Copies of this chain bind each other. A is one copy, B any other.
Protein backbone atom coordinates (compact mmCIF):
# COMPACT_ATOMS: atom_id res chain seq x y z
CA UNK A 1 0.00 0.00 0.00
CA UNK A 2 1.43 3.33 -1.04
CA UNK A 3 2.13 6.08 1.44
CA UNK A 4 -1.03 8.00 2.10
CA UNK A 5 -1.67 11.02 -0.08
CA UNK A 6 -2.73 14.10 1.87
CA UNK A 7 -4.16 17.52 1.23
CA UNK A 8 -0.60 18.80 1.15
CA UNK A 9 0.28 16.62 -1.81
CA UNK A 10 -2.83 17.61 -3.68
CA UNK A 11 -2.30 21.28 -2.87
CA UNK A 12 1.25 21.19 -4.11
CA UNK A 13 0.34 19.50 -7.34
CA UNK A 14 -2.58 21.83 -7.95
CA UNK A 15 -0.53 24.86 -7.04
CA UNK A 16 -2.91 26.06 -4.35
CA UNK A 17 -3.00 26.09 -0.56
CA UNK A 18 -4.35 23.25 1.49
CA UNK A 19 -7.25 25.44 2.53
CA UNK A 20 -8.38 25.61 -1.06
CA UNK A 21 -8.16 21.87 -1.43
CA UNK A 22 -10.26 21.42 1.65
CA UNK A 23 -12.76 24.02 0.44
CA UNK A 24 -13.01 22.30 -2.90
CA UNK A 25 -14.36 19.22 -1.17
CA UNK A 26 -16.36 20.74 1.65
CA UNK A 27 -17.83 23.82 0.02
CA UNK A 28 -17.26 23.60 -3.72
CA UNK A 29 -19.47 26.60 -4.43
CA UNK A 30 -17.02 28.88 -2.73
CA UNK A 31 -14.21 27.91 -5.05
CA UNK A 32 -13.82 29.25 -8.55
CA UNK A 33 -14.88 26.68 -11.10
CA UNK A 34 -11.53 26.60 -12.82
CA UNK A 35 -9.67 26.09 -9.56
CA UNK A 36 -12.07 23.38 -8.57
CA UNK A 37 -11.33 21.53 -11.75
CA UNK A 38 -7.59 21.78 -11.23
CA UNK A 39 -7.87 20.49 -7.70
CA UNK A 40 -10.07 17.60 -8.69
CA UNK A 41 -7.68 16.67 -11.43
CA UNK A 42 -4.79 16.66 -9.00
CA UNK A 43 -6.77 14.61 -6.48
CA UNK A 44 -7.70 12.11 -9.13
CA UNK A 45 -4.17 11.85 -10.42
CA UNK A 46 -2.78 11.26 -6.96
CA UNK A 47 -5.64 8.96 -5.89
CA UNK A 48 -6.35 11.14 -2.96
CA UNK A 49 -8.74 9.76 -0.34
CA UNK A 50 -9.43 12.18 2.50
CA UNK A 51 -8.83 10.89 6.00
CA UNK A 52 -12.01 10.73 8.00
CA UNK A 53 -10.01 10.66 11.20
CA UNK A 54 -8.42 13.98 10.45
CA UNK A 55 -11.69 15.48 9.42
CA UNK A 56 -13.43 14.12 12.45
CA UNK A 57 -10.78 15.53 14.66
CA UNK A 58 -10.85 18.91 13.01
CA UNK A 59 -14.56 19.48 12.90
CA UNK A 60 -15.67 17.47 15.88
CA UNK A 61 -18.11 15.12 14.17
CA UNK A 62 -17.61 11.73 12.64
CA UNK A 63 -20.65 11.43 10.42
CA UNK A 64 -21.38 7.97 11.75
CA UNK A 65 -23.89 6.48 14.16
CA UNK A 66 -23.06 3.45 16.23
CA UNK A 67 -24.89 0.34 17.27
CA UNK A 68 -23.65 -1.66 20.17
CA UNK A 69 -25.31 -5.00 19.82
CA UNK A 70 -25.22 -8.02 22.02
CA UNK A 71 -25.14 -11.75 21.75
CA UNK A 72 -22.74 -11.59 18.86
CA UNK A 73 -20.17 -13.29 20.95
CA UNK A 74 -22.49 -16.18 21.50
CA UNK A 75 -23.27 -16.33 17.84
CA UNK A 76 -19.65 -16.26 16.84
CA UNK A 77 -19.29 -19.44 18.76
CA UNK A 78 -22.48 -20.95 17.44
CA UNK A 79 -21.44 -20.20 13.87
CA UNK A 80 -18.12 -21.96 14.27
CA UNK A 81 -18.02 -25.48 12.91
CA UNK A 82 -19.64 -27.49 15.67
CA UNK A 83 -18.65 -30.84 14.21
CA UNK A 84 -21.55 -32.93 13.01
CA UNK A 85 -24.61 -32.53 10.86
CA UNK A 86 -24.68 -30.83 7.52
CA UNK A 87 -24.83 -27.09 7.63
CA UNK A 88 -22.75 -27.00 10.74
CA UNK A 89 -19.60 -25.69 9.21
CA UNK A 90 -17.56 -25.21 6.10
CA UNK A 91 -17.90 -27.92 3.55
CA UNK A 92 -14.70 -29.95 3.48
CA UNK A 93 -15.46 -31.47 0.07
CA UNK A 94 -13.00 -30.80 -2.75
CA UNK A 95 -14.00 -27.60 -4.55
CA UNK A 96 -14.54 -29.31 -7.86
CA UNK A 97 -17.34 -31.49 -6.54
CA UNK A 98 -20.57 -29.82 -5.63
CA UNK A 99 -22.41 -31.33 -2.68
CA UNK A 100 -26.06 -32.15 -3.20
CA UNK A 101 -28.33 -32.71 -0.23
CA UNK A 102 -31.80 -32.46 1.12
CA UNK A 103 -32.23 -29.73 3.58
CA UNK A 104 -32.00 -31.21 7.00
CA UNK A 105 -32.39 -29.88 10.51
CA UNK A 106 -30.58 -26.60 10.55
CA UNK A 107 -30.64 -24.48 13.59
CA UNK A 108 -28.79 -21.73 11.92
CA UNK A 109 -31.83 -20.28 10.28
CA UNK A 110 -33.07 -19.72 13.77
CA UNK A 111 -30.15 -17.50 14.48
CA UNK A 112 -30.44 -15.08 11.66
CA UNK A 113 -32.13 -12.78 11.24
CA UNK A 114 -32.98 -12.26 14.86
CA UNK A 115 -34.77 -9.44 16.52
CA UNK A 116 -31.59 -7.43 16.83
CA UNK A 117 -30.72 -7.94 13.20
CA UNK A 118 -33.95 -6.50 12.00
CA UNK A 119 -33.65 -3.46 14.22
CA UNK A 120 -30.15 -3.03 12.94
CA UNK A 121 -31.48 -3.25 9.46
CA UNK A 122 -33.93 -0.45 10.19
CA UNK A 123 -31.02 1.62 11.40
CA UNK A 124 -29.04 0.87 8.28
CA UNK A 125 -31.85 2.06 6.08
CA UNK A 126 -32.34 5.23 8.07
CA UNK A 127 -28.64 5.97 8.30
CA UNK A 128 -28.18 5.70 4.59
CA UNK A 129 -31.17 7.84 3.99
CA UNK A 130 -29.69 10.60 6.04
CA UNK A 131 -26.10 10.33 4.95
CA UNK A 132 -24.71 8.65 8.04
CA UNK A 133 -22.54 5.60 8.09
CA UNK A 134 -23.43 2.90 10.62
CA UNK A 135 -20.75 1.49 12.83
CA UNK A 136 -21.45 -1.86 14.36
CA UNK A 137 -19.75 -3.19 17.41
CA UNK A 138 -20.40 -5.44 20.31
CA UNK A 139 -18.76 -6.95 23.32
CA UNK A 140 -15.64 -8.55 21.97
CA UNK A 141 -13.24 -10.97 23.58
CA UNK A 142 -10.34 -9.11 22.07
CA UNK A 143 -10.74 -6.01 24.15
CA UNK A 144 -13.76 -6.51 26.33
CA UNK A 145 -13.43 -3.33 28.28
CA UNK A 146 -12.07 -1.06 25.62
CA UNK A 147 -14.63 -1.63 22.98
CA UNK A 148 -17.32 0.46 24.57
CA UNK A 149 -15.27 3.58 24.67
CA UNK A 150 -13.79 2.60 21.37
CA UNK A 151 -17.04 2.60 19.55
CA UNK A 152 -18.47 5.51 21.51
CA UNK A 153 -15.45 7.55 20.51
CA UNK A 154 -15.96 7.19 16.83
CA UNK A 155 -19.59 8.03 16.35
CA UNK A 156 -21.87 11.01 16.80
CA UNK A 157 -24.62 9.00 18.44
CA UNK A 158 -25.00 5.50 19.81
CA UNK A 159 -27.75 2.90 20.07
CA UNK A 160 -27.48 0.07 22.57
CA UNK A 161 -29.44 -3.01 23.38
CA UNK A 162 -30.34 -3.60 27.00
CA UNK A 163 -27.81 -5.34 29.19
CA UNK A 164 -24.98 -4.93 26.75
CA UNK A 165 -23.26 -2.34 28.83
CA UNK A 166 -23.00 -1.63 32.53
CA UNK A 167 -25.06 1.35 33.54
CA UNK A 168 -21.98 3.22 34.56
CA UNK A 169 -20.46 2.93 31.09
CA UNK A 170 -23.71 4.04 29.54
CA UNK A 171 -23.95 7.11 31.69
CA UNK A 172 -20.39 7.90 30.88
CA UNK A 173 -20.99 7.71 27.16
CA UNK A 174 -24.32 9.48 27.39
CA UNK A 175 -22.46 12.39 28.89
CA UNK A 176 -20.58 12.82 25.67
CA UNK A 177 -22.89 11.78 22.83
CA UNK A 178 -26.59 11.04 22.58
CA UNK A 179 -27.46 7.46 23.44
CA UNK A 180 -30.68 5.60 22.85
CA UNK A 181 -31.45 2.29 24.42
CA UNK A 182 -33.71 -0.14 22.61
CA UNK A 183 -35.64 -1.16 25.69
CA UNK A 184 -38.31 -0.23 28.16
CA UNK A 185 -37.17 2.73 30.19
CA UNK A 186 -36.45 1.97 33.83
CA UNK A 187 -37.95 4.36 36.37
CA UNK A 188 -35.55 7.00 35.16
CA UNK A 189 -32.22 7.47 33.54
CA UNK A 190 -30.49 9.95 31.29
CA UNK A 191 -31.02 7.94 28.12
CA UNK A 192 -33.50 8.04 25.31
CA UNK A 193 -35.52 4.90 24.73
CA UNK A 194 -37.32 3.20 21.89
CA UNK A 195 -39.70 0.52 22.99
CA UNK A 196 -43.03 -1.08 22.14
CA UNK A 197 -46.32 -1.77 23.82
CA UNK A 198 -45.20 -5.00 25.44
CA UNK A 199 -48.02 -5.18 27.89
CA UNK A 200 -50.81 -4.33 25.48
CA UNK A 201 -49.49 -6.74 22.90
CA UNK A 202 -49.42 -9.68 25.25
CA UNK A 203 -52.82 -8.80 26.59
CA UNK A 204 -54.23 -8.77 23.07
CA UNK A 205 -52.75 -12.09 22.04
CA UNK A 206 -53.86 -13.68 25.29
CA UNK A 207 -57.38 -12.38 24.79
CA UNK A 208 -57.37 -13.81 21.30
CA UNK A 209 -56.58 -17.21 22.78
CA UNK A 210 -59.35 -16.86 25.34
CA UNK A 211 -62.09 -15.43 23.20
CA UNK A 212 -61.45 -16.79 19.73
CA UNK A 213 -60.16 -20.19 20.70
CA UNK A 214 -61.93 -20.71 24.01
CA UNK A 215 -58.79 -21.52 25.97
CA UNK A 216 -59.27 -21.13 29.70
CA UNK A 217 -56.27 -22.81 31.15
CA UNK A 218 -53.27 -20.72 30.10
CA UNK A 219 -49.73 -20.37 31.31
CA UNK A 220 -47.00 -17.84 30.60
CA UNK A 221 -43.51 -19.16 29.98
CA UNK A 222 -40.13 -17.49 30.22
CA UNK A 223 -38.90 -14.04 30.85
CA UNK A 224 -38.43 -13.05 34.41
CA UNK A 225 -35.61 -10.68 33.93
CA UNK A 226 -35.60 -8.00 31.31
CA UNK A 227 -38.10 -5.24 31.87
CA UNK A 228 -39.82 -6.00 28.57
CA UNK A 229 -40.56 -9.53 29.53
CA UNK A 230 -41.94 -8.48 32.86
CA UNK A 231 -44.22 -6.04 31.08
CA UNK A 232 -45.39 -8.85 28.84
CA UNK A 233 -46.25 -10.98 31.81
CA UNK A 234 -48.32 -8.11 33.18
CA UNK A 235 -50.26 -8.01 29.93
CA UNK A 236 -50.91 -11.73 30.31
CA UNK A 237 -52.21 -11.13 33.81
CA UNK A 238 -54.38 -8.26 32.56
CA UNK A 239 -56.10 -10.52 30.07
CA UNK A 240 -56.78 -13.30 32.57
CA UNK A 241 -58.04 -10.85 35.11
CA UNK A 242 -60.39 -9.23 32.62
CA UNK A 243 -61.72 -12.67 31.68
CA UNK A 244 -62.11 -13.58 35.34
CA UNK A 245 -59.74 -16.50 35.05
CA UNK A 246 -57.25 -17.50 37.68
CA UNK A 247 -54.30 -15.10 37.58
CA UNK A 248 -50.86 -16.57 38.32
CA UNK A 249 -48.41 -14.52 40.33
CA UNK A 250 -45.33 -15.47 38.42
CA UNK A 251 -44.35 -16.64 34.98
CA UNK A 252 -43.03 -20.15 34.54
CA UNK A 253 -39.29 -19.89 34.02
CA UNK A 254 -37.96 -23.26 32.94
CA UNK A 255 -34.28 -24.13 33.21
CA UNK A 256 -32.18 -24.01 30.06
CA UNK A 257 -29.66 -26.35 28.60
CA UNK A 258 -27.21 -26.01 25.76
CA UNK A 259 -28.03 -27.73 22.49
CA UNK A 260 -25.66 -29.51 20.18
CA UNK A 261 -25.04 -26.37 18.19
CA UNK A 262 -24.32 -24.18 21.16
CA UNK A 263 -27.65 -22.47 21.36
CA UNK A 264 -29.31 -22.51 24.78
CA UNK A 265 -32.81 -23.90 24.83
CA UNK A 266 -35.37 -24.20 27.57
CA UNK A 267 -36.41 -27.49 29.12
CA UNK A 268 -39.78 -28.61 30.38
CA UNK A 269 -39.96 -31.33 33.02
CA UNK A 270 -41.17 -34.65 31.64
CA UNK A 271 -44.31 -34.88 33.70
CA UNK A 272 -45.29 -31.34 32.93
CA UNK A 273 -49.09 -30.97 33.08
CA UNK A 274 -50.26 -29.48 29.78
CA UNK A 275 -52.37 -26.35 29.78
CA UNK A 276 -54.65 -25.42 26.88
CA UNK A 277 -52.42 -22.61 25.81
CA UNK A 278 -48.86 -21.47 26.35
CA UNK A 279 -48.15 -17.78 25.98
CA UNK A 280 -44.41 -17.32 25.58
CA UNK A 281 -42.37 -14.28 26.48
CA UNK A 282 -40.46 -14.39 23.20
CA UNK A 283 -40.54 -16.16 19.86
CA UNK A 284 -37.35 -17.87 20.80
CA UNK A 285 -38.94 -19.45 23.82
CA UNK A 286 -42.01 -20.32 21.76
CA UNK A 287 -39.91 -22.13 19.17
CA UNK A 288 -38.31 -24.15 21.93
CA UNK A 289 -41.72 -24.99 23.32
CA UNK A 290 -42.87 -26.06 19.87
CA UNK A 291 -39.85 -28.35 19.60
CA UNK A 292 -40.50 -29.91 22.95
CA UNK A 293 -44.17 -30.48 22.27
CA UNK A 294 -43.38 -31.99 18.87
CA UNK A 295 -40.94 -34.34 20.57
CA UNK A 296 -43.64 -35.49 22.93
CA UNK A 297 -46.16 -35.91 20.16
CA UNK A 298 -48.47 -33.22 21.48
CA UNK A 299 -50.86 -31.78 18.90
CA UNK A 300 -50.31 -28.06 18.40
CA UNK A 301 -52.61 -26.20 18.20
CA UNK A 302 -55.23 -28.95 18.68
CA UNK A 303 -54.31 -29.90 22.21
CA UNK A 304 -52.19 -26.89 23.18
CA UNK A 305 -52.04 -23.48 21.54
CA UNK A 306 -48.69 -21.68 21.56
CA UNK A 307 -47.85 -18.03 20.95
CA UNK A 308 -44.68 -15.98 20.85
CA UNK A 309 -43.60 -12.37 20.91
CA UNK A 310 -41.26 -10.47 18.57
CA UNK A 311 -42.07 -11.60 15.07
CA UNK A 312 -38.74 -13.03 14.05
CA UNK A 313 -38.43 -14.57 10.61
CA UNK A 314 -38.08 -18.12 11.88
CA UNK A 315 -41.64 -17.97 13.19
CA UNK A 316 -42.96 -18.06 9.64
CA UNK A 317 -40.91 -21.04 8.66
CA UNK A 318 -41.74 -23.32 11.53
CA UNK A 319 -44.70 -25.69 11.29
CA UNK A 320 -47.16 -24.94 12.72
CA UNK A 321 -46.36 -21.31 11.85
CA UNK A 322 -46.10 -19.26 14.98
CA UNK A 323 -48.81 -16.85 16.04
CA UNK A 324 -47.05 -13.94 17.65
CA UNK A 325 -46.95 -10.27 18.55
CA UNK A 326 -44.87 -8.53 15.96
CA UNK A 327 -42.71 -5.60 16.89
CA UNK A 328 -42.23 -3.06 14.13
CA UNK A 329 -38.51 -3.67 14.09
CA UNK A 330 -37.65 -1.73 10.97
CA UNK A 331 -39.57 1.25 12.24
CA UNK A 332 -37.88 0.91 15.62
CA UNK A 333 -34.50 1.15 13.99
CA UNK A 334 -35.65 4.17 12.09
CA UNK A 335 -36.97 5.76 15.26
CA UNK A 336 -33.61 5.22 16.91
CA UNK A 337 -31.85 7.09 14.13
CA UNK A 338 -34.47 9.77 14.21
CA UNK A 339 -33.96 10.47 17.90
CA UNK A 340 -30.22 10.39 17.54
CA UNK A 341 -30.27 12.86 14.68
CA UNK A 342 -32.49 15.20 16.63
CA UNK A 343 -30.21 15.22 19.60
CA UNK A 344 -27.09 15.62 17.52
CA UNK A 345 -28.56 18.69 15.90
CA UNK A 346 -29.72 20.10 19.18
CA UNK A 347 -27.52 18.78 22.00
CA UNK A 348 -29.71 20.42 24.63
CA UNK A 349 -32.78 18.47 23.70
CA UNK A 350 -33.74 16.23 26.62
CA UNK A 351 -33.77 12.44 26.29
CA UNK A 352 -36.85 11.08 24.63
CA UNK A 353 -38.92 7.93 25.06
CA UNK A 354 -40.81 6.62 22.07
CA UNK A 355 -43.21 3.69 22.33
CA UNK A 356 -44.27 2.06 19.08
CA UNK A 357 -47.41 -0.01 18.56
CA UNK A 358 -47.28 -3.75 18.01
CA UNK A 359 -49.63 -5.99 16.09
CA UNK A 360 -50.83 -9.50 16.71
CA UNK A 361 -50.05 -11.74 13.75
CA UNK A 362 -52.27 -14.79 13.55
CA UNK A 363 -50.72 -17.85 12.01
CA UNK A 364 -51.26 -21.48 12.81
CA UNK A 365 -50.00 -22.18 16.31
CA UNK A 366 -52.96 -20.52 18.03
CA UNK A 367 -55.53 -22.53 16.07
CA UNK A 368 -56.21 -20.06 13.25
CA UNK A 369 -56.14 -21.50 9.73
CA UNK A 370 -53.40 -20.64 7.30
CA UNK A 371 -54.37 -18.18 4.62
CA UNK A 372 -54.00 -19.23 1.03
CA UNK A 373 -51.82 -17.60 -1.51
CA UNK A 374 -49.32 -15.99 0.76
CA UNK A 375 -46.90 -15.91 -2.07
CA UNK A 376 -49.11 -14.50 -4.72
CA UNK A 377 -47.96 -11.01 -3.86
CA UNK A 378 -46.95 -8.27 -6.21
A residues with a Cβ closer than 8 A to B are 1-2, 4-5, 25, 44, 47-57, 60, 62-64, 72-73, 75-76, 79, 90-91, 93, 95-96, 98-107, 109-110, 112-113, 117-118, 121, 124-125, 127-131, 133-138, 140-143, 146-147, 149-154, 168, 171-173, 175-178, 197, 200-201, 203-204, 208, 259-261, 263, 265, 287-288, 290-291, 294-295, 313, 316-319, 321, 325, 328, 330-331, 343, 347-348, 355-363, 368, 371, 373-378
Which of the residues B49, B117, B151, B261 comes within 8 Å of A176, measured between beta carbons?
Answer: B49
Separation of A282 and B363 alpha carbons in the complex (Å): 29
Which of the residues B290, B331, B355 comes within 8 Å of A90, measured between beta carbons?
Answer: B331
| Closest Cβ neighbor of A127 among chain B residues | B136
Min C-beta distance of A368 to chain B, whole Å: 7
Separation of A228 and B375 alpha carbons in the complex (Å): 27
Please determine whether B368 and A99 come into contact, CB atoms closer than 8 angstroms. Answer: no
Separation of A56 and B151 alpha carbons in the complex (Å): 12
Which of the residues B113, B154, B204 comes within 8 Å of A100, measured between beta carbons?
Answer: B204
Please determine whether B100 and A53 come into contact, CB atoms closer than 8 angstroms. Answer: no
Which residues of chain B are within 8 angstroms of A200 by Cβ–Cβ distance?
Answer: 95-96, 98
* A118, A131, A321, A376: residue with the most chain B Cβ atoms closer than 10 Å: A131
